[in-house]
Amino acid sequence: MSTSLSSPVSLRIEAGIALITVDNPPVNALSHAVRTGLLQALRAALSDEAVRAAVLLCSGRTFIAGADVTEFGRALQPPHLPEVTQAFEESPKPVVAALHGTTLGGGFEIALACHYRIATPSTTVGLPEVKLGLIPGAGGTQRLPRLVGVDLALKMICNGVPITAAHALESGAIDEITEGDLEVAAATAAERLGRDAKPPRRTGLLSVTRPIDGIFDEAKRTFAKKRELIAPLRCIEAIRAAVSLPFVEGLKRERELFLQLRTSPQAAALRHAFLGEREVGKVPGLSAHVTAREVRRIAVIGAGTMGGGIAMCFANAGFPVQLVEAGSGALERGIATIRKNYAATVTRGALSQDGMDKRLHLITPTLIYEDLREADLIVEAAFEDMDVKQLVFERVDAVAKPGAILATNTSYLDVAAIAEFTGRPQDVLGMHFFSPANVMRLLENVRTPKTAPDVLLTAMKIAKAIGKVAVLVGGADGFVGNRMLAQRTREAYFLLEEGALPEQVDRVLVDFGFPMGPLAVGDLAGLDIGWRNRKARAHLRRPGVRDCNLLDKVCEMGRFGQKSGAGWYRYEAGNRTPHPDPLIEQLILDHARQAGIVRRDISDREILERCLYAMINEGARILGEGVAARAVDIDMVWLHGYGFPAWRGGPMFHADQVGLTTVYEAITRYRERFGAELWSPAPLLEELAAVGHGFFTAGVTAPAIVR
């Protein structure tokens, strides 16, 4: 017998076993239709006297991989998931969950409510809700501890990291792994349970093994370290309820906590981060008729800090890479660094020796530009100097095959001007990787007015192929990320001369959620880079506009940051911990005296506002100019390239949460104090604040971002 109930869930009855199948591609997300279909299928199976037991399974590449994230921002629509899990658990006929792929979130919660769990060997199971600022809300925090104990439940739920089928079997989260056909094995298990005279084993009726004393306090201490993140603490509270309350009361407590978090600003921000990562790949205006160019062979020019990392990115994804250098010494050093970096990964256990050998084998060092003839994509990462870029692009233009994509990794130079060094500006764009290029996920793909749409599409696709989050940007002078960063750095230096010390500025931004403060970041990146950049751009300085030359003074002392053992902080050999340095304090005090600045106490609030609002204002300008297409593009740049805390969503999302009127008013106050040259509100910010809109509520999209 076979009955189709509602589209994503079907019911088939074979030899007394009801096979309930979810088919909701791509990942069988628990949409409203799936929840409804599951209840209907279960009820139909229960009311059929011929049915002795049921199997819940999924079509496609995975069991239910979680909630339907697109439903998150909306009002909850019944049936809610707890109703579904409860119905499965209370079923008088045994239900076997047949798991494959990524059994996550609500999918795993349903499986936990079934009476038996069988999985394929490659299955992973987990409750990653915490990553979206939530707790599992359909019994996961109550049932999982009953099966695996409090210790593992805390680890799985508070970290949100899935476990393998083997680990799940060993810990009791699942009952069986099958190497054979999953449906057949699950039906066999259901058949066996159906013959049993005893009622099915209900997870909710199991008792929780008493955990070791102090386990919850210890967990709280661990997760309190993750600063203001609320969700892990609520997870701990819910799991504690599994120990201290009867099952039904525990479920109630879990639901309360879930509902509180669901509408919290942190959950909204984390959801924005999650969806934004997917959104930025869809470029507005990039016509559906455009097809990407084929990219099989890569060439990278320059084997320095960036070129080496970029070559690794491509080799890691299986692309053959020609690595071109100007001299044999630099080439040997570059290859040695790549080898050293891979070897460190092998030592850490994150890569096999075989994997390392394969990757190294894909990278071919060369000193001959003619070797670029076959490359489909050439990424230049030579010195940051227009004359060098000209030399390189003229040489590349002479040898590259027609249709090859020519990219520059420049941080600040005008990509459109670089494109004009070739006879094919339509094939040129910026691909701005971040340091270390093989680690950082962000890639700013920089378009010029002449870049062809299929070149942009190809750059976005290739970014995905190498595991990057690519954001399409335009403009010059730092594009999106560095242009906003320059504003924050400017304010950080001003704050130092006005009265703050590096450790105070850094603490305020770390308290906000950044992994490091701006001055410690400078020490990590190398202060000489910023110094060189300042010198190269000295001609752009406007007379009469405030400028702080503290960085020059620090660098003139030979303090270039961690690499020289001292920068804004001092460092002990072999240790990256920054230590406040009295020499720097003295330097700052002397500097202020010479500049005639009377130092004052500066509040943490002022530090935060000036560092953040200067950035947000620049973000609004970037958006108004169409340098970024959407506010979400700016947010993803900051989340994936600059350590902006995901639970605040990104600078533009955060600005909306603070309220643009508040941001605007603060900026106008700073304009009164520090002058219009530095603190004029961006026209877009002014417009939105005047009508009470946010960057996101207004849905600002730059017109025709791709021509």
According to the binding rule CB under 6 A, does residue 409 interact with ligand NAD?
yes
According to the binding rule CB under 6 A, does residue 335 interact with ligand NAD?
no
CB atoms within 10 A of CB 296: 10
Choice between 360 and 386, CB closer to ligand NAD: 386
Q: Mark out the alpha helices in 68-116 (DSSP H runs).
A: 81-90, 106-113
Phi, psi angles (nearest 5°) of residue 152: -70, -35
* CA pair distance 254, 612, nearest whole angstrom: 36
Contact region with ligand NAD (CB under 6 A), list: 50-58, 298-306, 352-360, 686-694:
298-306
C-alpha 548 chain-centroid distance:
34
According to the binding rule CB under 6 A, does residue 476 interact with ligand NAD?
no
Contact region with ligand NAD (CB under 6 A), list: 26-34, 81-89, 263-271, 295-303:
295-303
**Contact 595/660 with Cβ under 8 angstroms?**
no
Q: Which residue in this structure is represented by tokens 């959407």?
A: 630
Could you say which of 14, 90, 109, 609 is catalytic?
A: 109
Q: Which residues from 49-68 bind ligand NAD, rule CB under 6 A?
A: none
According to the binding rule CB under 6 A, does residue 418 interact with ligand NAD?
no
Helix 32-47 / helix 81-90 crossing angle, nearest 10 deg: 20
The least distance separating ligand NAD from the CB of residue 330, rounded to whole angstroms, comes to: 4
Partners of residue 13 on adjacent β-strands:
18
In the set 304, 320, 624, 643, which binds ligand NAD (CB under 6 A)? 304
* CA pair distance 82, 73, nearest whole angstrom: 18
According to the binding rule CB under 6 A, does residue 523 interact with ligand NAD?
no
The least distance separating ligand NAD from the CB of residue 307, rounded to whole angstroms, comes to: 6
In the set 22, 189, 392, 689, which binds ligand NAD (CB under 6 A)? 392
Whether a cis peptide bond, with omega within 30° of 0, leads into 703 is no
According to the binding rule CB under 6 A, does residue 522 interact with ligand NAD?
no
Partners of residue 545 on adjacent β-strands:
none
The least distance separating ligand NAD from the CB of residue 166, rounded to whole angstroms, comes to: 41
In the set 24, 103, 178, 410, which binds ligand NAD (CB under 6 A)? 410
Task: Return the closest-CA partner of residue 39 out of 74, 2, 5.
Answer: 5
Contact region with ligand NAD (CB under 6 A), list: 182-190, 297-305, 396-404, 697-705:
297-305
According to the binding rule CB under 6 A, does residue 384 interact with ligand NAD?
yes
Two tokens, residue 391 = 């030399």
According to the binding rule CB under 6 A, does residue 705 interact with ligand NAD?
no
Contact region with ligand NAD (CB under 6 A), list: 39-47, 275-283, 407-415, 690-698:
407-415
C-alpha 217 chain-centroid distance:
29
Two tokens, residue 105 = 């979130």
**Contact 578/569 with Cβ under 8 angstroms?**
yes
Partners of residue 9 on adjacent β-strands:
6, 22
DSSP-assigned states of every residue in 290-309: --PPP---EEEE--SHHHHH
According to the binding rule CB under 6 A, does residue 129 interact with ligand NAD?
no
In the set 391, 510, 608, 698, which binds ligand NAD (CB under 6 A)? 391
The least distance separating ligand NAD from the CB of residue 521, rounded to whole angstroms, comes to: 11
**Contact 22/8 with Cβ under 8 angstroms?**
yes
- b/e map 171-189, b = 16+ CB within 10 Å: bebbbebbeeebbebbbbb
According to the binding rule CB under 6 A, does residue 323 interact with ligand NAD?
no
Choice between 165 and 392, CB closer to ligand NAD: 392
Binding residues with ligand NAD: total (CB under 6 A):
24
Helix/strand/coil percent split, the chain, to 5: 50, 10, 35
According to the binding rule CB under 6 A, does residue 307 interact with ligand NAD?
yes
In the set 188, 203, 411, 489, which binds ligand NAD (CB under 6 A)? 411
Q: Which residue in this structure is represented by tokens 């600078």?
A: 651
Q: Give yes or no: 109 in active site.
A: yes
According to the binding rule CB under 6 A, does residue 281 interact with ligand NAD?
no
According to the binding rule CB under 6 A, does residue 400 interact with ligand NAD?
no
Q: Give yes or no: 129 in active site.
A: yes
DSSP 3-state assignment of 441?
coil
Length of the chain: 707
According to the binding rule CB under 6 A, does residue 325 interact with ligand NAD?
yes
In the set 222, 264, 435, 701, which binds ligand NAD (CB under 6 A)? 435
Q: Which residues from 363-382 bind ligand NAD, rule CB under 6 A?
A: 381-382
**Contact 414/483 with Cβ under 8 angstroms?**
no
Contact region with ligand NAD (CB under 6 A), list: 85-93, 170-178, 429-437, 574-582:
429-437
Q: Indicate which residues carry an active-site annotation.
A: 109, 129
Binding site for ligand NAD (CB under 6 A): 301-307, 324-326, 330, 381-384, 388, 391-392, 409-411, 433-435
